[in-house]
Amino acid sequence: MAHIEGTEYDIFGAEDAPIVVLIHGLGLTRASTWGAIIPILAQRFRVVSYDLLGHGASALPKGAVTLAALSHQLFALLDALGVEQAALVGFSLGGMINRRCAMDCPERVTALAILNAPHDRGEAQQRLVEARARDTAEGGPEAGIDETLARWFTQNFRADHPEQVNAIRKILLANDAENYAAHRQVLAAGVHELIAPAPPLALPMLVMTCEFDTGSTPEMTHAIARETENAETIIVPQLQHLGLIEKPEAFSKPIADFLNRALK
């Protein structure tokens, strides 16, 4: 574990392998999101995993939290590490950040894997997500946490693996309330920046979600892919938002195979 300008990160894999950066989602941490996936990717790639601003061990942001600020955090980390180009794998909010990075500096992004990330929600769903963001601003991470966990994990997993669900609960509740609310607002409103980018993204892209992810639906996944020529899509059956924690092998192999093709 190391830090650069307040960003905590880890690096795994061979020094001469292609660079892959992992970007976690709202309220989570690099370890809680990618712990079971990193060993698979590190067999083939140089993997950088870091905590978002104010998450995990990273310092709280000094200014406003926006997609642009979160893109800047990643590029500042790459600059400090001397990395000119990298493939970006982003989960949920991380799958918005990596698209923002590719729009801001396409020459620095070699491939995108976008996992369980939102897109155009439609008017009714957008209002619902924005209402939840307002509830978080008023009540902190604990506002609606049981409802959140029920959306994130399947009922069977919650019943059979309470220790893993409780571990995620503790991580969410440990978040700074103001910072969590600010990032949740980006998750709610930031999709407007990402719809139909002009010029369109033109790079290898994999877009994945889970069959029963209500916040990052299969329809959204296909919509993201339609905006980039030759983008690949995978819908993982039966799982919900945190399918990559519930069943990491359903994600690790297709991500590794995609990156292996894209980064030859």
CA–CA dist 45, 13 (Å, integer) = 6
Cβ atoms of residues 245 and 218 within 8 Å: no
Q: Please tell me the predicted confidence (pLDDT) of residue 1.
A: 64
Specify the CATH class of 2-121+191-262 in words.
alpha beta
| Residues with Cβ within 8 Å of residue 87, at least 6 apart in sequence | 18, 19, 20, 21, 45, 109, 110, 111, 112, 113, 259, 262, 263
Cβ atoms of residues 18 and 45 within 8 Å: yes
DSSP assignments along 78-94, one per residue: HHHHT---EEEEEETHH
Q: What backbone torsions phi and psi does residue 236 show, to the nearest 5 degrees?
A: -80, 120
Single-letter amino acid code for the residue at 143: A
Please name every residue paired with 215 in a beta bridge, in sequence order, or none if there are none.
Answer: none
Q: Please tell me the predicted confidence (pLDDT) of residue 139.
A: 76
| Residues with Cβ within 8 Å of residue 105, at least 6 apart in sequence | 75
Domain positions in the chain = 2-121+191-262
How far, in whole angstroms, is CA 4 from its chain's centroid?
20
CA–CA dist 102, 88 (Å, integer) = 9
How far, in whole angstroms, is CA 238 from its chain's centroid?
20
Single-letter amino acid code for the residue at 141: P
Give me the residues of the chain with pLDDT under 50, please.
none
For residue 246, what are its two tokens? 């519930």
pLDDT tens-digit series, residues 18-68: 999 999 999 999 999 999 999 999 999 999 999 999 999 999 999 999 999
Other CB atoms within 10 A of residue 88 CB = 28
Cβ atoms of residues 239 and 247 within 8 Å: yes
222 burial (CB, 10 Å; 0-12 / 13-18 / 19+) is middle
For residue 46, what are its two tokens? 């140089």
Q: Please tell me the predicted confidence (pLDDT) of residue 84.
A: 97
Task: Count CA atoms within 13 Å of residue 256 on its CB side.
Answer: 18
Backbone CA torsion sign across 134, 194, 92, 59: negative
Q: Please tell me the predicted confidence (pLDDT) of residue 234.
A: 98
Q: Please tell me the predicted confidence (pLDDT) of residue 24.
A: 98
CA–CA dist 95, 125 (Å, integer) = 19
